Amino acid sequence: MTKEDIKQTYSMREIVTRYGFYPNRAGFIPCPFHKGDREASMKIYDKDFHCFGCGAHGDIFAFIQQMDGIGFKEAFQALGGIYEKPSFSSNLAIYRANKRKEMREKQRERDKQKRLLNAKKIDIYREYLQRAKPLSEVWCDCYNALQLELYRHAELNGLESRW
Ligand SMILES: [Zn+2]
């Protein structure tokens, strides 16, 4: 049960009677949190309590916590609350999924950089080809390098080589 489920299930009155307090006709009990409360200063409302003597105030969990000297977690569990702790295996699955996502993003970034570099090289080789004397050694080197980059371009962009 969640905290809200529990609050729906138990009234404040139900909780105080568990500790042996029975609200009078006006809905008051002697305050257990300050001494000598013969007047019954603690008003029990539907979902919470308030002491007009010492100012103690809270809901069913707060009452149990203060009565038993325990923390919220223990009070919550005492009333049937269940903490949904993620299991080790689900943590591992989340970790792995995040890791895979991270790897995919890195791969995409690397591919992008490769495409940029490839495009830049193609521009450069084309420019050199235009400047070089056709069929000279430089021209041939550039031509071969360009073919290689064009081939890589197709590969990187998932296209069939058109050149
Ligand atoms: Zn009080």
The domain spans of the chain are 3-78, 105-156
Q: pTM of the entire structure?
A: 0.53
* pLDDT tens profile 12-37: 999 999 999 999 999 999 999 999 88
For residue 54, the model assigns a pLDDT of 95
* Interval between CA 53 and ligand 1 midpoint (Å): 5
Is 3-78 a domain of CATH 3.30.420.270?
A: no
Mean pLDDT for the chain overall: 91
* Interval between CA 50 and ligand 1 midpoint (Å): 8
* Interval between CA 84 and ligand 1 midpoint (Å): 35
What is the DSSP-derived secondary structure letter of residue 46? S
From CA 60, how far away is CA 45, in angstroms rounded?
10
Identify the band that residue 160 occupies on the pLDDT scale cut at 50, 70 and 90: low
